[in-house]
Amino acid sequence: MNLKKLKKSYKPNVSKFRRMWVNLFRDYSKKNKLQPSAVIVFFSFLISVILILMGFEKFGFIPFLLGCSFILISFLYFTIYPLSWEEMTEEEKDVYKFFNQLPENWDLDK
């Protein structure tokens, strides 16, 4: 558990962008059954298939490669620079405490 990374503070615009980026992988809305990251990969695959069927075999792999690269780069980025405590929602804080076996009344400043 790296408390230094949890205490890190970002500028408001950067924090807002990181929150939108994280929401591509953690969509908690009940109306949307698919994760946006899965939709990105599916559509990039679909575009690749369409390009190949249209006769652009040379370039058909590029959309799918870009979609998968985006997912991989995002995973690596958030592994190295996880959300700070102030960026997390209450639900994410509870999950963090659960996976790190912390007591429910645990606070970052203690």
Examine the pLDDT at 107 and tell me if it is beyond 90. no
- pTM of the entire predicted model: 0.75
Give the pLDDT mean for 76-100. 87
pLDDT for position 82: 87
Which is nearest to 98 in space by CA: 90, 9, 109, 81? 90
Instruction: Please report, for the chain, the start and end positions of each structural domain, with discontinuous segments joined by +.
Output: 34-102
Alpha-carbon gap, residue 76 to 62, rounded angstroms: 21
Examine the pLDDT at 40 and tell me if it is beyond 80. yes
Separation in Å, CA 2 to CA 6, 46, 59: 7, 40, 43
pLDDT for position 1: 58
Alpha-carbon gap, residue 44 to 7, rounded angstroms: 36
Q: How confident is the model at residue 2 (pLDDT cuts 50, 70, 90)?
A: confident
pLDDT for position 110: 60
